[in-house]
């Protein structure tokens, strides 16, 4: 049975997605700083690794020392990280009316373990939607960059970054396809632009959604 989509009526959930080296962490931090300067309670987290359990999962799936994993094993580890994250971090913060920013979420599993690996993207999607109880971001920002440019920014690569060019190209296309299928909830940006220009565009996309958070909070008061 398909897990129904859940957009929480309180809080605002913003996700940063995209391939390697696109500046997700930088833009997530810039958005957090701006939101806090505007007086919005904000939580910045990442996946995998935003919980104690998730940090252990992160070590397994990203360390080159892990070596090869069965693709289903890898997919289930990422899904387990998301399940713990949603239950213990994301939903509690959103229920408090906070703005939650995450560096990666379900789309990364669909792109990397579904399209990047030899798994069925529909099956990976179903597992991750179940693991996250259907929780969807109000806005997903995809920072798009050709894989060769993004990977060129790293002197050392983790277990996933070390995959070949075709793998990363499939991942890139998967993110673009996900965004194209739901344009109301996605913002796709050319990550080769300047840091400040990208940050300004992201703020412009988030700002009207903040007013919706206020209206949701007032309606529930």
- What digits encode the pLDDT tens for the residues 2-56? 788 889 999 999 999 999 889 999 999 999 999 999 999 999 999 999 999 999 9
Please report, to the nearest 10 degrees, the dihedral formed by the alpha carbons of residues 50, 152, 128, 93 taken in order. Answer: 30
Alpha helices in the chain (DSSP H): 24-37, 52-62, 71-85, 91-95, 106-109, 121-131, 147-151, 165-181, 195-220
User: What pLDDT was estimated at residue 175?
Assistant: 97
Q: How far apart are CA 183 and CA 201, in angstroms?
A: 16
- Residues 6+ positions from 184 with CB-CB distance below 8 Å: none
pLDDT digits (tens, 9 = 90+) for 78-127: 999 999 999 999 999 999 999 999 999 999 999 999 999 989 999 999 99
Instruction: Determine contact, residues 46/136, Cβ cutoff 8 Å.
Output: no
User: What pLDDT was estimated at residue 79?
Assistant: 97
User: What's the Cα-to-Cα distance from 127 to each of 89, 121, 189, rounded to whole Å?
Assistant: 19, 10, 28
Cβ atoms within 10 Å, residue 44: 19
pLDDT digits (tens, 9 = 90+) for 167-182: 999 999 999 999 999 9
């Amino acid at each position: 049975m398909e897990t129904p989509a859940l957009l929480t009526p309180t809080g605002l959930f913003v996700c940063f997605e995209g391939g390697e080296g696109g500046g997700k962490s930088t833009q997530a931090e810039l958005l957090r700083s701006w939101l806090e300067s505007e007086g919005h309670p904000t939580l910045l987290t990442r996946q995998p690794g935003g919980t104690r359990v998730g940090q252990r999962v992160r070590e397994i799936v990203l360390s080159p020392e892990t070596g090869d994993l069965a693709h289903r094993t890898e997919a289930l580890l990422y899904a387990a990280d998301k399940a713990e994250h949603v239950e213990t971090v994301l939903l509690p913060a959103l229920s408090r009316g906070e703005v939650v920013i995450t560096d990666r979420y379900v789309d990364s599993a669909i792109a990397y373990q579904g399209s990047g690996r030899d798994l069925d993207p529909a099956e990976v999607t179903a597992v991750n939607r179940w693991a996250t109880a259907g929780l969807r971001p109000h806005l997903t920002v995809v920072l798009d960059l050709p894989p060769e440019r993004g990977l060129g920014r790293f002197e050392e690569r983790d277990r996933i970054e070390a995959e070949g060019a075709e793998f990363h190209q499939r991942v890139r296309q998967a993110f673009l396809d996900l965004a194209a299928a739901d344009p109301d909830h996605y913002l796709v940006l050319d990550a080769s632009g300047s840091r400040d220009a990208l940050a300004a565009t992201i703020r412009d996309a988030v700002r009207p959604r903040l007013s919706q958070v206020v209206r949701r909070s007032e309606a529930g008061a």
